[in-house]
Each structure stands twice: as structure tokens, then as C-alpha cells.
Amino acid sequence: MEQHKERVFVPVKIAVLTVSDTRTLDDDKSGTTLADRIAAAGHILADRAIVTDDVIKIRERVLAWSKDKQIDVVITTGGTGFTGRDVTPEALEPIFEKRMDGFSEVFHRISYDKIGTSTIQSRATGGVVNATFVFALPGSPGACKDAWDNILQYQLDYRHMPCNFVEIMPRLDEHLKRTGKA
């Protein structure tokens, strides 16, 4: 991985959604971990919210943000496990226009190095919704650190080479333009 210093940093507008039945903004360690890292990297925290573990509430919040031109990326934390209340992938994957299998694979590779086979208990996922990148991370601060520090901080940095998400953002809605939906 290489950073091209001659490229100008482009701040990205990111919304953070915590999925939890028990957290508030005051005790949301995972959401705070992401918000702090977003700011430290020079990006813009466009919005932050908490919703309960409910498919409709998760989907509605992510769809609303994906239609907001002031938001480029949505990162969720929580609800990616296997318990009965863990429904974030069920809420998001049906609305993905394009699924990002590589995100999950790389996340699990990084996670394996830290927590071994316990990584299989996460259903971290990523995709594109309404030309907006959406990533679903586990609800632990450690998992949020791993995803941000090892994947997202690089892919959301225009200077990162050989490629990054920022340079393709303007083209994420090409399929909608062809069909007249954009």
C-alpha cells in the first residue's frame, strides 16, 4: 500500500449508526471509537445515531442517509452476530445494489490475526446503497478499530494507491443513470 503525497486529501462525509437495544450516545464506545477515528483522519462526521435491533429501523435510517447528498459513507456497528437480536445484515443486504464480498473477507483475515477462529461469529458486510458505501461492523470497539485502522482509513483516503473508494464515488450511480432512476 502506498500513499501518493502529490494527491490532495479529500474529506469524506461519514454517518455512524450504532445498532443496540441498550446503548445511548453517552455509553456508545463503538460509535465513539468510529467518530473519533473519522475526525482524526480529517473526514467529516455527517451524522450519528442509535437505533434498536430492528430490521425496519436499521433499513429506514440507512436508506435515509443513503439518499442524503451530504453523506458519502454509512458505517454501522452492532447486530452482526448470531443471536436472535442480531439483524443488521438482514436489514442491509437486501438493499445493497452491489455487495462488497472483499470487505468481509479482508475484515475476517485481519480479525483472525487478533481473535483467531472467533472471527467466524461476525457477519460483517459491506455494499453500495443509492451510490453510498455502507459497511456493517461488529459492535465491539476492537472490531471497529480493526476495520477502520486496517481497511476503511485507507480506502477512504484519496491518496491511497493503487486504488481507493473516493476516486470511484462519482461513478457509483452510473447504473441508475442508464436506467433513468437517478
61 φ, ψ to 5°?
Answer: -65, -45
Per-residue pLDDT, 141: 97
Whether 178 is in a domain gets the answer no
Its domain, for residue 158, covers: 2-173
74 φ, ψ to 5°?
Answer: -120, 130
Whether 182 is in a domain gets the answer no
Whether 50 is in a domain gets the answer yes
Q: What is the C-alpha to C-alpha distance for residues 161 and 130, in angstroms, rounded to an integer? A: 25
Q: What is the C-alpha to C-alpha distance for residues 111 and 95, in angstroms, rounded to an integer? A: 26
* 3-class SS shares of the chain: helix, strand, coil, % to 5: 45, 20, 35
Per-residue pLDDT, 7: 86
What is the number of structural domains in the chain?
1
Whether 82 is in a domain gets the answer yes
Report the share of the chain in percent with pLDDT over 70: 93
Whether 181 is in a domain gets the answer no
Kindly report the CATH number assigned to the domain that includes residue 165: 3.40.980.10
What pLDDT digit, counting tens, does each position of 38-49 carry?
999 999 999 999
Per-residue pLDDT, 101: 96
Bridge partners of 48, per DSSP, are 16
Query: Which cell numbers in the block locate residue 101?
Result: 464480498
Q: What value, to the nearest 5°, has the Cα angle with vertex 129 and ends 86 and 75?
A: 50
Alpha helices by DSSP H, listed for the chain, are: 29-40, 55-67, 88-92, 101-115, 141-147, 153-155, 174-179
Query: Which cell numbers in the block locate residue 130?
Result: 443509492
Q: What is the C-alpha to C-alpha distance for residues 151 and 145, in angstroms, rounded to an integer? A: 10
122 has a pLDDT exceeding 80: yes
